[in-house]
Structure 1
Amino acid sequence: MHPQRWHGHVTTRTMAALVGCTALVLTLTGTASAQADTSDPARQTLGAKDGWGSYGSGTTGGAAADTDHVYTVTTWAGFKAALAAGGSAPKIIKVKGTIDAVSEGCDALAVPGYDFDAYLAKYAPEKWGLDTDLSAEPDDSPEGLRRASADNQDQQIKANVPANTTIIGVGRNAGFKGASLQIKAVDNVIVRNLTFESPVDCFPQWDPTDTSTGAWNSEYDTAVVYGSTHVWLDHNTFTDGSHPDSKAPTYFGTLYQQHDGELDIVRGSNYVTASWNAFADHDKTLMIGNSDSESTAAGDRGKLKVTLHHNLFRNLVERAPRVRFGQVDVYNNHFVAGQDYVYSFGIGKESQLVAEHNAFTLPAGISPAKILKKWMDSPLTAADNRVNGKVVDLIAVHNAEIPGEMLRSDGDWTPTLRTKIDSTKAVPAVVDHRAGAGRIC
């Protein structure tokens, strides 16, 4: 078997978390008063009116856990065991250090007989063409062996989070590499103070029929909220880390894409707040609603209510977020674009986006007209946003410069679940100083 290009073995480099607040010091006692002690970040709950996650019953995670359901983990196996222990009883999982979900490297996940060079040789466009996908390839073919290897990775790196759980990093340098956190069909989950280095798909699939030239398609979002309710993601850092797309090779003239999304909120999920996170150095970043299909829409309409506030979006390409169906409130975030920037807000099917009091820092030559991207006709509200320090009407500038994608203003709902709204002028300093892992005060 030929070693995988570029990704090979996920490095054991310790990820440096962002500096800022004093590192967390977590203590554990067994008294009832300690369980209700909000001075311990592991037992803190989402505050009242803090976004959609606070709606109704609110989001408390594992704050009520007894001492038998508080775990400190340092390995991937230990983390998975803690998730499985105790069912849906309230639990707190404290993550200490950086846990690598693929510590033995990609080659350890490949099935016998898988060979990347053989895969490239068989499916090269000049030989295979661009008209037939690989879905019918038999199990003993290069594609069949790739599928089996991909199944091994799927089972290895996905971690299913049960209801009533808090997962929190200890100190500044806690987090995961190569993991895919699955918050699926559960209620009441908190994830805080963790640095996530995006999983690298060891076995991307070549699809000759994807676009006119074919494309490599990868799996594994860093975190997925799928059919779940009352979720709070706070003070986390999401990054491609040591494996940015800029280091990826090309095969068949196309980028060998090994990343999917950093955070997806899909399939009827509802009442989610993402606050004070840092999303950095990634392409397709944050998707709310994953399909325009009518079968998916039936489960998404009236749901996908999400609040994003005080997050730092730095050096991203697109989807920050792309929205379908949901009432999504995006306020007091800072968007710092790089030269590869495509857009921030994707206006999708039946979306109801309110984007207010945000700050954008764009490099020279990139117009504010690119901040909004129309995928389908849906009204939105975009008020009091600043670009490079100046107030800009994002809808007006978009419609003036991209008249073929006219957007409608004035959505039909007004957010009420907000904490203190910072002055838009102050947002860059406030968010840059406090967002991300290692900065819980």
Structure 2
Amino acid sequence: PQYILSTVNKGIKHIVKSYGAPEAVVLATYLFGLALMNRSKGFLTNIYTWADERAIEVVKEIKEHGVELYRRTGCPPIHIYALPKILWLRKHRKEVIYEADLYLDLKSILTNHFLHRAVTDMSSASGTYQMFNIYSLRWDDYALGVAGVDERMLPEVVEADYVEYIPLGIAAELNIYDKIPLVIGLFDGASMIYGLTGGGSNIAVVNLGTSAMIRTVIEKPIIDNINMMRFQTYYFYREKWLSGGAINNAGIALNTFIDILASGLEVDKQRLFNDLYNYRFNEDRKPLFLPLIYSERIPFLKTDIGGSIIGLKPDVKAIDIVASCIEGIAMLLKVIWEALEDNDISIDDVRIGGKLSSIPFVRVMLANLFNRKTIWTDIVDVSHLGNALLAATSLRYSSAKQIRDFIDYVIAKNFIIPEKKYVEKYRERYQIFKKYLYSLYSS
């Protein structure tokens, strides 16, 4: 944690030196990070991230609580959340649990640093802890009981547009000598959604980065059938929620597979990436790729057997398998899409971001796989744009309508319309993909 805080300080100082003092600081952090702290002694642990799989063993032990936790928090029983991490620590690092009196997510690590008070926003609390009730918008007593945590050990929870001024002494350490507001901000995925939609409903936002997600804004909390729990529902912002899900096996799985190709064969990694930008759909050559290389956060799938490639033929090229890997990533998201539709959550169009969305083949593939108009943007990091727009409304620089008009003008101008022949091809491929997915990986 100290390294992150030091890096943030250096980044702000660099901005101040290069461009002058900013008008505000807004925080964007990822979900699922957890660090334990003692108010007197400081940090007791490093940050446990979403990639830490040690809590998997604990999830099996608390299976009896899974349904009730999902009903209350919108979080299915999977290992990425803070609750199973805390139980794992209680089992394996009792001395740390004994000393800890603060359980901090990434957002509250930063606010504790800047404000000397642990505060997080509701979207981050909802998506990180598995202990935030999506109906009452308070820490949930049942979940706290399962975790063995007192509410006083958790950060204060506020809306994402909450503003508080950084104390002058802290600001001076950043070479800022005026009052400067700190806007709490959304988690990175939620801020991307805000940057692409302005909080509008009936729009699926897809992010294809190291991990991948598909989420949509809804007007009330909705959860899946408790026997499936195929998607999560987190609180978003100002009486709106986010339903959808995320997968671990996205860019990280693609990079791992390309590394395997490059290390075992005479394959030029950079050339593969370059070839992707010119790739076109080739139904005759492409195999199916179920890219479950890492443990997944989809509770109804058993993913510890690893990924699968189906349909290898003599004329298949390395680039065909790489493209199939990206298709497999998108098809895992399609599983979540279908779960949303099963619960009467309608989607009119798709807006995409993340590094992989810069590849033309990927944009076309998503439009045809989802059979929706698909909007893409050249803006490199939409999550930063989203939190900047949120800060603009928080500080009364812009109205919500002005933000939505800006997004429609700047973001929504680049789009792809699905083509009937490719929609049908992808429908057929997806049905085959789903057949193998459930037959090989059903838990």
| TM-score scaled by length of structure 2 | 0.26
Q: Which protein has the bigger helix share?
A: 2
TM-score, normalised on structure 1? 0.26
